[in-house]
Structure 1
């Protein structure tokens, strides 16, 4: 539901947090950012030529979805750790950077996947972005913005134990990296929310800040420091994952349909 005063419709570059924010701020193109989880793992997987099927739930439905698409099912990082099986494909960029023989992957993520599906249902073209491909995403979007399209960047954030949104600074940095590069490439007005993210990105010190922020410390202390280091590789990738149908694939290998410009 779009709320009066919250849709940022007077700006072509927009930003709002999480699934509720994504619904409140529609746009022609929607960029999901989940730096220390979904979108960095997505970027690494698509970079390796894997077709990624995002999925909202981490239960038996995910396994059924994987069977339906002839895909491998990724498990959560901590689930893979508890199994003690290093061969298990998980929601971990480091695990995906070494995997062999996987062509299709179901990637369950209650944050990033849920947001991607909600945005796709709104009619937006959905893109997955992180620090690794921020510049590539901006370059892909720039001609579309120059032609009049609107873009909302959606930092996914994390969830507190009571399931409320925890704005995560790493997702703000990722959103800011995309917006700053896009603002430099295309002549378009940015909302105050978008400019705030750009300012946060300019103030970030990588990789140190990513390792020392709350989410980074949590992963490092659990043994996933390699995931944080991969996520901190700014502009290391030229891959632009776009959601076409039920799966993400690289935009350079596709000619995704251009959404009807709704001037919203």
Structure 2
């Protein structure tokens, strides 16, 4: 199983359909085609479950793809339009790094009881005393099992002996200091790790950048209405994810998210 696919994609897909259904503003139902141009028809169509914008605007206006192709197919009289999105993996890796950094700092603050530092202050302090150890990182990659690297990122970070003392100097959090140190080290891990190292931590062993593509299919019905097909793919480095259990509705909802 290529878990890195799920970890990257889940940041903008998981739960998006529920969030969208609750938060999308009601808009007029758009039914605009471009003559016999089925690709244009699909791109200009507004699905009943996603009324804030048409399909083309949602997909082409998102930050998910660095390249998008639309193609027309016909099988047994059924007209379909296939959309393939080449995911901007570098952008997703950077976003994932920031999300995990923020999450680690949030967990630090659940244990830290002092008033001398806020989350960014603790991060600045940790940067002065901690560093990602490349040798330990590579050893973790070599020995990782069932992606435990995501639970023990802190083990790849070294901190000097002064950090604990600085944290405890202005805080009565000695009982929680080990938890604080682990989460601070995790924050350092995500602040210092490169995109290539993060890519490798997801299990990508080949040189160069990983490639991820999302394929969605739309059915052009009689009467020029459009339906979202259940058929879709997640493709990693040219190979389809064989254990993908996501639904196409959840996938397309990610394209409607705007930040």
Q: Tell me the TM-score normalized by structure 2.
A: 0.26
TM-score (norm 1): 0.25
Larger relative CO (CA 8 A, sep 6+): 1 or 2? 1
**Greater helix proportion:** 2
